[in-house]
Chains A and B, each alone.
Chain A
């Protein structure tokens, strides 16, 4: 009897846990497939009688007005993610390697500056950045937008990679030096192949952080040709709240890629973040 009670208790706790973590998203999904008249009707049905995927069909159809804006946003988000990764990943690997494996003057100072930069919020730099971008005529430019992303992720990502490299045994490189291998070669042939777990973790982290940006592009890249999916979804929400089903569908589509990536690669994600937050 006690075992049954305990089992029922555990199942109850798990149910409550799942309702709290996934319930809000599930509700958003239900709204997105509910026909308008059913949602507003006085009946208090939770699940629609005639679910429809029309909102999704419209958003993913390039021939509708909403679809055009939405797909544009999707492409812009993907572009920003690519540029951020292509520029950010090699630079943070190089920086982390230098901080972990080189002895040079000012290393501790640079480490300190790097750590300080982790906690500088983006809004403290955004006013002059806007002014500079405006002067240089590079507002609404995905490349320069991505550079700002890189600068805001770089300290944290470098910190995470550097902590990982610190854990790689130096003996591997020392053996290579004896074979006449230089530092650059050791970086390419030993450090990088031995850092693959952390490299995949930071790729995931950078993807999530770039995909989720809203405030920076709102200020620096709000044109139709550059604004990311998150902004498109937010605009549906503020301007078209009458079309709540469309807003909900846009929200679900915008959260699907990061949510799926995080759930599938959860081990990698947790590994990456704890490497930065817990170990020092």
Chain B
């Protein structure tokens, strides 16, 4: 048995080296950077300054602006994502001949590179020849093209929609697995009592979906916080409607302010760690369809 233990550590060694070297060491390092005045443009001016960066961040108008942008995107992703993943799951769950083909169609958005997803949606909302404007022209609802991505809230809404569209399939699959695990007997009993489809959905399916709802909600939340690629493709690194991750990137890699950027990173990490905790808990508990 003793030898067994040694062998186990042997099996774990390669993964440990990689994780320690590229995840844990950098996380500690990020914290150290965050307590320093550290600009890559002035390397000789590196100095320990305590929590000065954090104080500066909380005072910064730009940070607050980015913070609220992230909250809005998150809310849109959760709202659209939750409703449409349940609808998608119900459709995929229906016993029709082509449901396998529908699943094939449904997983495609999931597989898209997020940055390409941004490009795809840019063509929908492009003001000159975007799909939306063409439709609205065709229906004679507008005379001038709508500039969808020129305002703050329009941009945030479209970003949220774009991200939700990509993550809906995954969430739908989680719901679907949960739905398929609900015993048929429960529905049959309800039918005997004269329940119709809608009643069955709200009184049986919905309450029994609670375990997977936890996974879906945390997943949507994390996707909302972590948006980056889609935004770069949709609007680039501009200030208008800029959420936290883009703010963090420009501070760090455009202004080369590593100390300040690291502190921003830590703040976002703690915020998303808060949600991540619930995710881990639901994973460890075994989530839904067991």
Give me the interface of A with B, judged by CB distance under 8 Å: 10, 13-14, 17-18, 20-22, 24-25, 27-28, 31, 39-40, 44, 46, 91-92, 94-95, 97-99, 102-105, 107, 110, 113, 115-121, 123-132, 147-148, 150-152, 154-155, 158-159, 183-184, 208, 211-215, 219, 230-231, 233-234, 237-238, 244, 247-248, 251, 254-255, 258-259, 261-264, 266, 269-270, 273-274, 276-280
In the complex with contacts A119-B276, A254-B116, A279-B19 CB distance below 8 A: no
Contact partner of A102 among B4, B15, B115, B225, CB < 8 A?
Answer: B4
Tell whether, in the assembled complex, residue B18 and residue A21 are in contact, meaning their CB atoms are under 8 Å apart. no
Tell whether, in the assembled complex, residue B105 and residue A18 are in contact, meaning their CB atoms are under 8 Å apart. yes
Tell whether, in the assembled complex, residue B22 and residue A248 are in contact, meaning their CB atoms are under 8 Å apart. no
Tell whether, in the assembled complex, residue B15 and residue A119 are in contact, meaning their CB atoms are under 8 Å apart. no
Select from chain A the residue with minimum beta-carbon distance to B173: A270
Given contacts A238-B236, A259-B108, 13 further A-B contacts (CB under 8 A): A14-B98, A97-B11, A98-B8, A115-B283, A120-B27, A123-B249, A124-B30, A125-B23, A154-B15, A214-B229, A215-B229, A234-B119, A280-B290
Tell whether, in the assembled complex, residue A104 and residue B9 are in contact, meaning their CB atoms are under 8 Å apart. yes
Which B residues are CB-close (under 8 A) to A118?
Answer: 279-280, 283
When chains A and B are docked, how far (Å) is the Cα of A278 from the Cα of B30? 32
Which B residues are CB-close (under 8 A) to A150?
Answer: 18
Which A residues are CB-close (under 8 A) to B96?
Answer: 10, 14
A–B Cβ pairs within 8 angstroms, 14 of them? A24-B121, A31-B123, A40-B129, A118-B279, A125-B22, A125-B26, A128-B30, A154-B19, A214-B232, A215-B228, A261-B111, A270-B177, A278-B287, A279-B290
Tell whether, in the assembled complex, residue A247 and residue B11 are in contact, meaning their CB atoms are under 8 Å apart. no
Give me the interface of B with A, judged by CB distance under 8 Å: 1, 4-5, 7-9, 11-12, 14-15, 18-19, 21-23, 25-27, 29-30, 33, 88, 91, 94, 96, 98, 102-116, 118-124, 126, 128-129, 131, 134, 137-138, 165, 170, 173-174, 177-178, 212, 215, 219, 222, 225-226, 228-229, 232-233, 236, 245, 248-249, 252-253, 258, 261-262, 265-266, 268-269, 272-273, 276-277, 279-280, 283-290
Contact partner of B128 among A40, A107, A280, CB < 8 A?
Answer: A40
Tell whether, in the assembled complex, residue A151 and residue B113 are in contact, meaning their CB atoms are under 8 Å apart. no
Tell whether, in the assembled complex, residue A117 and residue B174 are in contact, meaning their CB atoms are under 8 Å apart. no
Contact partner of A258 among B11, B91, B113, B129, CB < 8 A?
Answer: B113
In the complex with contacts A127-B261, A273-B173, A278-B178, A258-B22 CB distance below 8 A: no
In the complex with contacts A27-B131, A121-B226, A278-B174, A128-B33 CB distance below 8 A: yes
Give chain B nearest CB distance to A20 CB in angstroms: 8
Contact partner of A121 among B4, B111, B269, CB < 8 A?
Answer: B269
Which A residues are CB-close (under 8 A) to B228?
Answer: 123, 214-215
Select from chain A the residue with minimum beta-carbon distance to B252: A127
Tell whether, in the assembled complex, residue B119 and residue A128 are in contact, meaning their CB atoms are under 8 Å apart. no
Tell whether, in the assembled complex, residue A24 and residue B124 are in contact, meaning their CB atoms are under 8 Å apart. yes
When chains A and B are docked, how far (Å) is the Cα of A179 from the Cα of B102? 49
When chains A and B are docked, how far (Å) is the Cα of A116 from the Cα of B277? 8
Which B residues are CB-close (under 8 A) to A231?
Answer: 115
Select from chain A the residue with minimum beta-carbon distance to B122: A237
Tell whether, in the assembled complex, residue A21 and residue B108 are in contact, meaning their CB atoms are under 8 Å apart. yes
Tell whether, in the assembled complex, residue A102 and residue B26 are in contact, meaning their CB atoms are under 8 Å apart. no
In the complex with contacts A14-B98, A255-B113, A266-B103 CB distance below 8 A: yes
Tell whether, in the assembled complex, residue A94 and residue B105 are in contact, meaning their CB atoms are under 8 Å apart. no
Contact partner of B91 among A13, A31, A237, CB < 8 A?
Answer: A13
Select from chain A the residue with minimum beta-carbon distance to B124: A24
Tell whether, in the assembled complex, residue B112 and residue A255 are in contact, meaning their CB atoms are under 8 Å apart. yes
Residue with the highest number of chain B CB atoms closer than 10 Å, among A20, A123, A150:
A123
In the complex with contacts A215-B228, A277-B174, A280-B283, A208-B11 CB distance below 8 A: no
Tell whether, in the assembled complex, residue B19 and residue A151 are in contact, meaning their CB atoms are under 8 Å apart. yes
Which B residues are CB-close (under 8 A) to A277?
Answer: 170, 174, 215, 219, 283, 287
Which B residues are CB-close (under 8 A) to A110?
Answer: 12
Contact partner of B112 among A105, A212, A219, A234, CB < 8 A?
Answer: A212
Which A residues are CB-close (under 8 A) to B113?
Answer: 211-214, 230, 233, 254-255, 258
When chains A and B are docked, how far (Å) is the Cα of A255 from the Cα of B117? 9
Give chain B nearest CB distance to A38 CB in angstroms: 9
When chains A and B are docked, how far (Å) is the Cα of A24 from the Cα of B22? 37
Select from chain A the residue with minimum beta-carbon distance to B133: A44
Which A residues are CB-close (under 8 A) to B232?
Answer: 214, 234, 238
Give 5 nearest A-B pairs by CB, closest first.
Answer: A119-B276, A262-B111, A280-B286, A102-B8, A128-B29
Give chain A nearest CB distance to B138 CB in angstroms: 5
Select from chain A the residue with minimum beta-carbon distance to B266: A124
